[in-house]
Chains A and B, each alone.
Chain A
Amino acid sequence: MSYKSLDPQDFLVSADTITAPCWSTLTNPETSLYTSSVQVAGTSGNYYLNVYNNDPSTNSSSEIQFNISYGNAFGSGSLLYDPGINGLSPTRTVYGQWRNLIYGDENTQFSFSTVSPTQQDFYAISIDRARFKESLLPGSLTLLLYSASKQITLTDDSLTSTTVSYCDAGRVFNIISGSNGIATATNTLGAINTGMTVSGSYGLFLPDIGTIILNASALDLVHASGGISLNTQRSSNTNNANPIRLYSTASGRIGLTTGSYTSSFSLNSQETITSDFVFCRARNAEFNYTENPSFISGSTGAVLYDLFVNSPTTYITTVGLYNDSNELLAVAKLSKPLKKDFTKEALVRVKLDF
């Protein structure tokens, strides 16, 4: 017999979580960021700003890492679609788009922790799908934003919060001052809670849709109050290009900057790999002969050496997995031949990834 049936106990389904930095370089932090003047000048530039790992004008292999959009409940900060229809502009579209995704309700206002800012606007950093894979890893965010000679470091509160909150976009955590999921206790004027501001938290961390919502009102605060004086522009029927304001006009840095800071954006993706393990067992009396033509001498079928009559030796190189119809569905090769004879048993674990 050449085929051996597998028992139900020979199968194991395993799901392993793989985490890695989100960026194309697979390293944290991402310190080299670029935008495209072509994209900014295009139609999509009215809605969002693509951020690349290399300069797309000189490097054809540059890849989008994330994009930044700005949403405003009143449509401020961008040109109106139609000057005669007040309030309908790309920023209003972006606001409604994210509100629909996050709250699933056209009447709900964005709130950050317990505060619902008067200025209903935000910045959305949406990680490229190929970068965040299945979801973002809570507790892995560290984002530096600069303001002149001052800086703030933002993270999510997933490691310190005792309960996980859910919205229409899955899990939601507050973005707070700190790094790697740990809040930093700062003397921020009027802060409603540790690591927050008078305008509430710095935003929302939505790992299941790969998005970071930043509270524009919090970022607009002066540094003593926890902000970076971002000075978000909210003019009516004017293209204020707020996403570029958050990104910075200096290449490679997120946030307003005039110094020689290096940008720093650390974030990990998370992915579940499901594997099937099949345990193939060859008992001592099994698989000790072979139909290999070099094992046979001549056309009579006699084994090559007399030694093989009572002490046959074979070498396993390949494992084949079959269905009931003897159709070969999957194969696995060993790295080197595995000796098999009547004194040896072999156990080979075959891994099938899906």
Chain B
Amino acid sequence: MGYLNNQIITVDAILTKKGREALAKNDGSFRITQFSLSDDEIDYTLFNPNNPSGSAYYGQAIEGMPLLEAFPDETQIMKYLLTTLPRGTAKMPIINIGYTNIVLKQGASLSITPQTLNYLGGSQTYETSGYNFTIGDVRTMSTFNGVGINTNTSTALNSTTTLGTNVSKTVIGTTLNMTGTTINTLFGNQTQLQTVLIVQGRDSGARVTIPITITKIS
């Protein structure tokens, strides 16, 4: 009989840009209440269910791999969340927003209402808790609001704060309303601004990332 390994894994956390912003705002938003796990960096095609040495070796190419240090940009980490689904799930939930990329003119508006495919065995298209919409650079939008979920949290997130720095903004809703910025100085000498929109199902954990381009009109 051998000893069981009962070690707790201890890891040091770093604050994200959003975390530092929340800490600096000192408005109670830096309050950790939930966690999530992700498998960023893992390529499951390395998993080999046909390994002749047996099931203990299926994950051989993954289990010893070295991992990168954490990135402080909250839009570049925790991309692929682990989810809790019933055993026997054959198809993973997928988010469809109807676009593979978005191009907005300055001041132009767009509404997005995502759907989740394969969710709850395909019996439901929209997630009850709504979606998280995250824009990579909040300065590129003059309006970025989530509607359809009426909770205190979702209402508070829709409030506009003037920020002079490149930080993300997350809102909650079933539909996203956004308008490209009208501020010319952000463009500098360029004719367009680029950022990303991340849509994530709050129930399913499914996520899709869409590039957004804002084009200058004057």
Contact = CB atoms under 8 A, between A and B. Distances in A.
A292 B25 CA distance: 33
Interface in A297-354: 299-305, 307, 309-310, 312-340, 342, 346-353
Contacts of A350: 10-13, 35
Contacts of A331: 13-14, 16, 70-72, 74, 77-78
B9 A330 contact: no
Contacts of A348: 8-11
A295 interface: yes
Nearest to B74: A328
B65 to A, nearest CB: 6
Which range holds the interface residue count of chain A? 35 or more
B52 interface: no
Interface string B31-46: 1111111111111110
Contacts of B206: 291
Given A278-B32, A301-B91, A315-B62, A291 B205 contact: yes
Interface residues of B, number: 76
Which label, helix, strand, loop or mixed, suits the secondary structure of the A interface?
strand
B156 interface: yes
Contacts of B70: 318, 331-333
Nearest to B29: A323
Nearest to A318: B38
A303 B36 contact: no
A286 to B, nearest CB: 5
Nearest to A346: B9
B82 interface: yes
A317 to B, nearest CB: 5
Interface in B55-70: 58-59, 62-70
B84 A289 contact: yes
Interface stretch (A1-9, A40-48, A49-57, A181-189): A1-9
Contacts, number: 273
B82 A309 contact: no
Contacts of A300: 91, 94, 118
Q: Considering residues B22, B90, B93, B156, which has the most beta carbons from chain A within 10 angstroms of its beta carbon?
A: B90
A290 interface: yes
B89 A294 contact: no
Contact of B83 (A291, A323, A326): A291
Nearest to A276: B32
Nearest to A340: B82
B44 A304 contact: yes
A280 interface: yes
Contacts of B39: 290, 292, 314-318, 337
B15 interface: yes
B92 A291 contact: yes
A303 B207 CA distance: 16
Interface in B156-204: 156-157, 170, 172, 200, 202-204
Given A331-B14, A331-B16, A305 B78 contact: no
Given A286-B84, A325-B172, A331-B77, A313 B47 contact: yes
A26 interface: no
A296 to B, nearest CB: 5
Interface of A: 1-6, 11, 278, 280, 282, 285-296, 299-305, 307, 309-310, 312-340, 342, 346-353
